Structure 1
Amino acid sequence: MSYTSSYQNSQKNLLFSIVLNIIITASQVVGGFLSGSLALLSDALHNFTDVVSLVISYVASKFSAKSATSDKTFGYKRAEIMAAFVNSASLIIIAVILIKESIVHFINPRTINSDLVIWLSALAIVGNGLSVLLLLKDRKTNMNLSSAYFHLLTDMLASVAVLIGGLLMKFYGIYWIDSVLTFAIAVYLIFVGMKLFKDSFKVLMLYTPTHIEIEDIVTKINALPLVKNMHHVHIWQLNEIELHLEAEIDFKEDITLSKFDKLLVEIEDILLKDYGINHINIQPEFNKSDNKNIIVQD
């Protein structure tokens, strides 16, 4: 399947998931108020954040495909990373609110209409389960869709917990389980959200990807013929598929441009095959008086 075809399919899957979650959220909000279930309302609130996050993800993926312009030379390639950051942050914030509310309702439990809880949680499981399956493949290669996927997965798991809670309330009258499940859902949200938050934050802050050792790269490049010193190195991830490197290389001889071009091809081949770096910008130098440290703060 071509990249274009795969991209279009992921867009359709994302849009379908948005529609499903709008239906689920509306149903759970009404059912939550009618039944008096905090867990069901919490699940509805979580689903609502999913609707928002999925819309952000959808818009971001659309923008990321736009062409670069003179005032936006990178286009909107970082839109999906921004969406992942916002989505993960929203997960953590919602989780904190849920924890607070679960403690209040655990201290003062109340009778809940368990039938509504059971049927609406079952509806959410089916809807979110279908959305999870639709995004399962795309989430492995795209941080933005990965954040949407985990939103939906946690929703589905939360709905399973709510369903179990509804059954316990119906047959055993254990109404405090509603607050306990809410607390458990919130803790899981924090766990998942924090990882996505850290990953997207590192990309936005232009951190060197964790799988890359700059010193190892410098050692390999310095071992090439005519290379005297590779320094002033910057490595960053622009988006899901672009890894950039810029550096200065001091050469042993005052080489011609044609020689530099041949050596540049060799450098590009090493960086791509060994480190996955696919965008390279090298500044050639000869006997230039400047800072030769590997890392230089501009």
Structure 2
Amino acid sequence: MDHNQHQSGTGSFHGINADARILKITGWLTGIYFLVELGLGFYSQSIAVISDAFHTFSAVGGILIAFIANRISGKAATIAATYGFKRAEIMGALLNGVFLLLMAIYVLYMGYMRLGKELELPTGIMFLAAFGGLVTETISFRLIYKSQKTNMNMKGAYWHIMQTFVGSLLIIVAALVIKFTGYTPIDAILGMVFGLVLFWASYKIIKDALDIFMETVPKDVDVEKVKSALLNIKGVKSVMHLHAWTLTSNQNIFSAHIQIDDMQQSETILRTAESLLKTQFEFYFSTLQLETEHHDMGADDLNIVS
């Protein structure tokens, strides 16, 4: 006997639309600020400000990737894509993770190349560009912060905004140090420190995305506890071919073969099992096969031996 269990989650249509609106607003804010900062850079002939403007432009690209992935993920399931296109969000997160990794390498390289070089940095323009960035980035932070906690795609966009926000803070700190001490290498040193932070953030995003594509057990799921809970249901003899994986952010999937004593008790056992999986372990979707005897499916290599 098979059973499919559905429940709504954060990947719902309304959630996708809300995230899309947030990405649109943050994208426009960041894009407009990029043009303003680029104009200030060319006006002052400041390489530092021009470089930060293109740094901001990279965030626009990251938000655009997240937005496209968000729109694709909202498409309904089809006969050719029976799970729909939900994994597009994870693909967007992976692309943004790689994008952030490249940015981290670039920032580290630029910082290293600038060490030991005496640069003429116009602190007035640096302050103006940085404060403008802090305003737009703070607004974007407030919009995206809640969504990024539970959505990997939004987390990728969040870290792009984070890099521009911290970049603006570093410009202010560097400008203050240069203005009062004349120590210009501080610009490169602070940039390299943040490059390491970006490297760590990109690693986390890439690893989490690859874990989902490899269909590893979700971090918030203890397979042994799930199996034990199912075995404690009256009438259940054994649980085999147990599988748990993540479809997309906050949507964990579960399947298993459950051997029972009496098929006449199947409906009661099934309702108990599905309620347990939904309420206690918060699975978004599950498929259970009940049987009185174990059938050799020819896929014992996929069965967990514990």
Question: Common fold, TM-score beyond 0.5?
Answer: yes
Aligned match of 1:296: 303
Structural mapping, 1:5-16, within 5 Å: 7-16=16-25
- Asked whether the equivalents of residues 13 and 74 of structure 2 are also in contact (C-alpha less than 8 Å), the reply is no
Matching of residue 127 in structure 1 with residue 136 in structure 2: yes
SS for the counterpart of 2:78 is coil
Aligned match of 1:280: 286
- Asked whether the equivalents of residues 19 and 70 of structure 2 are also in contact (C-alpha less than 8 Å), the reply is no
- Asked whether the equivalents of residues 229 and 249 of structure 1 are also in contact (C-alpha less than 8 Å), the reply is yes
Matching residue within 251, 255, 259 for 1:250:
259
Matching of residue 266 in structure 1 with residue 267 in structure 2: no
Matching of residue 19 in structure 1 with residue 28 in structure 2: yes
Q: Counterparts of 2:173 and 2:295 in 1: how far apart (Å)?
A: 70
Distance 1:270 1:129, change over 3 A: same
Aligned match of 1:170: 179
Per-residue Cα deviation, 1:73-110 (whole angstroms, up to 9, x for no partner): 11111111111111122112211121112111113232
SS for the counterpart of 1:97 is helix
Q: Counterparts of 2:241 and 2:50 in 1: how far apart (Å)?
A: 53
Structural mapping, 1:91-130, within 5 Å: 91-130=100-139
Per-residue Cα deviation, 1:135-181 (whole angstroms, up to 9, x for no partner): 12222232211221222123212211111212322343221111112
Q: Counterparts of 1:232 and 1:6 in 2: how far apart (Å)?
A: 33
SS for the counterpart of 2:115 is helix
| Cα displacement (A) at 1:213 | 1.7
- Asked whether the equivalents of residues 260 and 292 of structure 2 are also in contact (C-alpha less than 8 Å), the reply is yes
Q: Counterparts of 1:184 and 1:246 in 2: how far apart (Å)?
A: 45
Q: Counterparts of 1:16 and 1:287 in 2: how far apart (Å)?
A: 57
Matching residue within 22, 32, 47 for 1:36:
47
Q: Counterparts of 2:18 and 2:252 in 1: how far apart (Å)?
A: 25
- Asked whether the equivalents of residues 57 and 145 of structure 1 are also in contact (C-alpha less than 8 Å), the reply is yes
| Cα displacement (A) at 1:295 | 5.4
| Cα displacement (A) at 1:31 | 4.5
Indicate the RMSD between aligned Cα atoms, in angstroms.
2.4
Per-residue Cα deviation, 1:27-81 (whole angstroms, up to 9, x for no partner): 44455562122xx455334322211111111111111111111111111111111
TM-score normalised by structure 1 residue count: 0.88
| Cα displacement (A) at 1:276 | 1.0
Q: Counterparts of 1:287 and 1:113 in 2: how far apart (Å)?
A: 79
Matching of residue 216 in structure 1 with residue 220 in structure 2: no
Per-residue Cα deviation, 1:163-222 (whole angstroms, up to 9, x for no partner): 121232234322111111211221121122222222222112111012222122112212
- Asked whether the equivalents of residues 16 and 71 of structure 2 are also in contact (C-alpha less than 8 Å), the reply is no
Q: Greater relative contact order: 1 or 2 (C-alpha under 8 angstroms, separation 6 or more)?
A: 2
Q: Counterparts of 1:11 and 1:179 in 2: how far apart (Å)?
A: 36
Distance 1:91 1:41, change over 3 A: farther
Structural mapping, 1:34-183, within 5 Å: 34-37=45-48, 40-183=49-192
2:177 counterpart letter in structure 1:
L
SS for the counterpart of 1:162 is helix
Q: Counterparts of 2:81 and 2:13 in 1: how far apart (Å)?
A: 23
Q: Counterparts of 1:204 and 1:61 in 2: how far apart (Å)?
A: 17
Matching of residue 202 in structure 1 with residue 211 in structure 2: yes
1:36 counterpart letter in structure 2:
I
SS for the counterpart of 1:238 is strand
- Asked whether the equivalents of residues 36 and 111 of structure 1 are also in contact (C-alpha less than 8 Å), the reply is no
- Asked whether the equivalents of residues 230 and 294 of structure 1 are also in contact (C-alpha less than 8 Å), the reply is no
TM-score normalised by structure 2 residue count: 0.86
Aligned match of 2:198: 189
Q: Which moved more, 1:147-156 or 1:73-82?
A: 147-156
Identical aligned pairs, as a percentage?
Answer: 24
- Asked whether the equivalents of residues 36 and 113 of structure 1 are also in contact (C-alpha less than 8 Å), the reply is no
Q: Counterparts of 2:55 and 2:211 in 1: how far apart (Å)?
A: 25
Gaps of 5+ in 1: none
